[in-house]
Structure formats: structure tokens, C-alpha cells
Structure 1
Amino acid sequence: MMKTSRAVIVTCLLTLAALNCVSAIEEINSIKDLKRIYSNKSLPMHSLTLLHWFANNVDIGTNNVVRLSFNPNRDFGSHRYCNYERLLPSAPQGYQFYTVGNVNQPPGDIDRKFPEYVLYPRVRESRGTGRNRDRIIVSVQAQTVSQVYLTQHFRQEDNRGSEYDRDHTFNISTNLLQQLRQFSFNDNTQSLQELRDQFDQHITDNQLNDLINISGRDQAPLELLYLIVVPQRINLVEVCRPNRRWA
């Protein structure tokens, strides 16, 4: 009887440990959190571009309900994710996990018929560089999203196959998606100044003007997001000023 009780206790402890391991996924709730994550973790800019792309390819209702604007079974190379390695907490009943972000997926009919359904060039530029590791995983039921995660595959040299790296997996809040949507592509200089003032007042007017001149007004919101989240890129803007011979 005592052996049985011990076995039950051990089983319960192991179950609790597994549940804690699955649930211990850090949430990114704001751009301020993004800055902290990028300063503490080794994350490629590709993952930030992927997040920006996702935030601007979903619909968010007034009640903060997130809905996909694309087919997770097909568009952008997205497909089912079964969570076999228990990377994530179980999806709510009736929801299924899908993953998106693989730039090596061959173009489908949706790409040819609707070019606007192709991932950003900046997302796809990782093709062939060995950096095609970042993914977004969502739990979806009838286009309604209940959970959003940013993750990445292990490196090839880690010999972990197609597993995802738990240490680089984050829960993405609706609030962060709303903030990222403020950086949608546009040519409104005034809105860029307002975003700078809201999220990073250390970026000077000269740096903002250099950014616009280098990237173009319509692409500047994404470049501004880069500068806010990864301030070290300001040095790159300084180097690439248009009035320099080798810009």
C-alpha cells in the first residue's frame, strides 16, 4: 500500500512539473517588453519582421477578438502544428494549432493569384541564409485566434531535428499586436514622429529624417520599429546617411 502511495505521489509531482514547464512561457505584452527581450535574448531581426507582418495580417475587433485574414491550412505556407513535444499549453477545446513563417515553402496558388498574400520581402529574404528558424504559432477555431506564440527552431548544429526552442518561445498578447499595428506601412511623417515620441524619445529628429531618406516614407514605419526595439541599429542609420559617398 505504501509503495502504491509513493508511486501516486511521484506521478503527481512529475505531472505538476510537466505542467509548470509547459506553462512557464514568458508573455510579451508591449513594445517595451519587446525591447527587453531583444536586449536579453539572441533574436534575429527576422522574427521582429515576422511579428510585424502577422500583426498587420489579422483583424482585431473592438472587443480584442483576433481573427485571421488568411487560411491557416494553406496561405503563406502555414500548416497544422500538433504540439507533440508539449512546447505549448494545450489549445482550448475546439481550437487547433497552426504554424506560419517558413520562407522555404514553395509558392502556392494563393501566391500566384493574389501577390498581396506573399510574405513581406523582408521576411522572405532569410531564404537560403540558414536563418529560416522563426515561426509564429496560433491556436485557431473558425478563423478566431485564442493564442499567439513567437518561437524558433533549434539550430542545425544542435541536432534537435524540427523541435522548437522553449527558451526562445514567447506568448504574444493582443495588446502587443495592437501596438505593432500602429507601425503599418504608410507615408505619414507626422505619425512617425508621434510613434517616436510614444515609444522612444531618444531617437532624434535628425535620425528620424535619415531613416525616412534611407528607407523611403512608406517603409519607414517598419524601420522605426527596428530602431525602437533594437537601439543599436541607430549606429547603422548614422553610417548610412544619404549624404555619405558609399551610402
Structure 2
Amino acid sequence: MAESHQMGFLVLFLSFLPTESTIGILNSINDLKKIPFGQSVPKHSLVLLHWFANAIELSNNNRLKLNFDPNHGDYGAHQYGNFQGFLDLLPFGHRYFTLGNIHFMNNNESRCLPNYYTNDLNYLLVGEELNRARIIFALSSQNTIHRVYITQHYQADQGQGTEYDPEHTYRISINLLRELRVFSLDRREQSELSEIGIYFGSSIGNNELSLLENTWCQLACFGLLFFIVINQRYLPCRPNRDRDQNRPPKRRVRSSSTPQSMMYYPPYHPIYGLQAARQNRDNKLCITIASLTLAFIGAMIIIAVCNHLQI
């Protein structure tokens, strides 16, 4: 009986140890093509992710920072408690936030999501159950973004209420955010769109570009992203070998009220992804070793207590 109690205490203790989530990581436009947008994943998720990538600040040293305050409800952001437990536990001082609700109540002091996300594109995304797409990001006390995810609410007929769908939750890498920033909405001229298409290996022609411009108007560059990710999902992105692959197409600077920190596009370099992967691997190894050490110490304490009680 005493041994069964000891095993019960040990199993209970181990169940409270932090575990690493198995959420997949999207690292490139090619990875985005593997996501079933328009099927089990709303196309609105792609719109929201594109907006978020271009709304945050991204420095050359891979630091992601917000230029808005989620604590004040900007863009409908609010704290997310991760009560479902499908995201990784965060270090002390970090918090999860979520945004993307097109029906959030604006307090007249907070910033609003762009109209093209909340309303204007609905006619182009016909057939979708709206307001399911969400962004989750982890924020440190220094206002630095630690992690970014896209997720979604379950469909209404699935009877899951307002919970998020872990099966269709994906972590977004810094590399993918850099690639999405190439599709800035201030790039509207056909020559620019053609250059971006060529860079990402798209076979889109001039006639298709003209149709895209007429259909998406001021959102033509997002329309190009939409075309590459969804319409050409079965065609892998192969950057033009004649161009320096470490540098995306140059953007023509236009006068704009947009903060320069949001308009600057640091050159992409593959080594950033390699460094991030190594750092992520080392962090996971440290967490695993610490967890095993705590588990061993806890088990020894529990067994010692049980033995003492027997005496």
C-alpha cells in the first residue's frame, strides 16, 4: 500500500511539471502554403498575420517590439491566460496577449484594427465564418515580443464556445515575419509587384498583375501575397537565382505618416534563422534538464516523506 501511495504522489508531482507544446513553426512563405487557408483555416488569418507583421517593429538583431499598448486595448488586444494549456509556459514577467476580434468595443482612446481587415475584404473572402482569426503574442516587461502565433476559434457548429483550436495554431518565426514585411501595402506599382513576385518565384504574369491591381486596388501587394500563398499553393517559392537571395526587392520610399520604424525593412539573412534555431534548441535543452532535476528532487522528497510516515 505504501508503495502505491509513493507512486501516486510521484505521478501527481510529474503531472505539474512544465511540458513543451508540439505546435508547428512556420518559417517561410513556403510553409504558409501548407496551411489550408479557405478550408479548415480562415483566410482572414492570413490577412491578420500580414497586418501584424507590418505593424510591429523588427530590428536587425531579431528583436520584435510593439509600437502600441495592449494594456490599453489597442487593436482590441487583451491578456490571454492560456487556460487551455496548449501554449508553452512563459518565463517570469512575460504575458500572453491576443488580438483580432473585429467586434471589439473601442474606448475612443485605443487604436482600431484597419478597415480592410474588419470589413472591406469581406466580399473577397466570401463564404467564410468571420471573426475566428486571432494573433497570440508573448510580451516581456520590456515590451519585447517573445513569441507570435496565429490561431483561430472553433467553428460555431463545433460547439466549443470561445476556445481556441490547438490543432490549427502555428508559431510564426522571425524569418516569416521578415518575408511578410516585403509585401508592404505601400508597394502598389506593377513594376514593384512584379519584382516581388519574381523574388518569391511566382509565375504571375502582367495580365494577372493588372487583374490583381483592379481587384485589390490599394491592397494590391497583399493581393499578391494572397495569390502566391493560396492560388499558387502547390508551386514552391524558388527565389530568383539571378538576384542576391539575402536581399529582398528594394522598396521605393514614399512620403507617409507611417512611423519609419514600421516602414524599414532590414535585409533578410539566412543566418538569423540558424541562430534562432540553435538558441531555441539550447533553451529547450536547459528547460528539459531543469525539469528532470526538479522531478528527481521532488520524487526523492516524496519518497523520504512516505518512508518517514511509515516509521
TM-score normalised by structure 2 residue count: 0.65
Please give the residue correspondences for 1:18-29 in structure 2 after superposition, counting only pairs within 5 Å.
Answer: 19=19, 23-29=21-27
Off by >3 Å, runs of 4+ in structure 1: 8-16
In 1, Cα distance between equivalents of 2:53 and 2:196: 16
**Which letter does structure 2 place at the counterpart of 1:140?**
L
In 2, Cα distance between equivalents of 1:85 and 1:184: 34
- Distance change in 2, residues 1:153/1:12 (3 Å): same
Deviation at residue 133 of structure 1 after TM alignment: 1.1
Please give the residue correspondences for 1:128-207 in structure 2 after superposition, counting only pairs within 5 Å.
Answer: 130-141=129-140, 142-186=142-186, 187-207=188-208
Please give the residue correspondences for 1:8-87 in structure 2 after superposition, counting only pairs within 5 Å.
Answer: 8=9, 10-11=11-12, 14=15, 19=19, 23-38=21-36, 42-73=40-71, 74-87=73-86
In 1, Cα distance between equivalents of 2:46 and 2:37: 13
**Which letter does structure 1 place at the counterpart of 2:22?**
A
Q: Indicate conservation of the 8 Å contact 2:137/2:146, yes or no.
A: yes
- Distance change in 2, residues 1:166/1:200 (3 Å): same
Q: Indicate conservation of the 8 Å contact 2:75/2:99, yes or no.
A: yes
In 1, Cα distance between equivalents of 2:117 and 2:93: 31
Q: Indicate conservation of the 8 Å contact 2:25/2:173, yes or no.
A: yes
- Greater displacement, 165-174 / 41-50: 41-50
Q: Indicate conservation of the 8 Å contact 1:46/1:122, yes or no.
A: no
**Number of equivalences:** 222
**Which letter does structure 2 place at the counterpart of 1:83?**
N
Deviation at residue 161 of structure 1 after TM alignment: 2.0
In 1, Cα distance between equivalents of 2:7 and 2:216: 64
**Which letter does structure 2 place at the counterpart of 1:55?**
A
Deviation at residue 40 of structure 1 after TM alignment: 10
Deviation at residue 160 of structure 1 after TM alignment: 1.8
Deviation at residue 195 of structure 1 after TM alignment: 1.4
In 2, Cα distance between equivalents of 1:226 and 1:162: 27
- Greater displacement, 81-90 / 31-40: 31-40
The CA deviation string for residues 16-50 of structure 1, in whole angstroms up to 9 with x for no partner, is 7x825xx1001111111000113696211111000
The CA deviation string for residues 149-189 of structure 1, in whole angstroms up to 9 with x for no partner, is 11111122222222111001110111111111111112233
Which ranges in structure 2 are unaligned for 5 or more consecutive residues?
A: 123-127, 234-311
- Greater displacement, 146-155 / 184-193: 184-193
1:124 counterpart = 2:118? yes
**Structure label with greater radius of gyration:** 2
In 2, Cα distance between equivalents of 1:13 and 1:39: 38
Q: Indicate conservation of the 8 Å contact 2:193/2:221, yes or no.
A: yes
Q: What corresponds to 2:106 in structure 1?
A: 107
**Which letter does structure 2 place at the counterpart of 1:163?**
E
- Greater displacement, 193-202 / 168-177: 193-202
Deviation at residue 145 of structure 1 after TM alignment: 0.3
The CA deviation string for residues 88-145 of structure 1, in whole angstroms up to 9 with x for no partner, is 111222111111100110222235xxxxx4312231026xx74211110111123210
In 2, Cα distance between equivalents of 1:201 and 1:77: 35
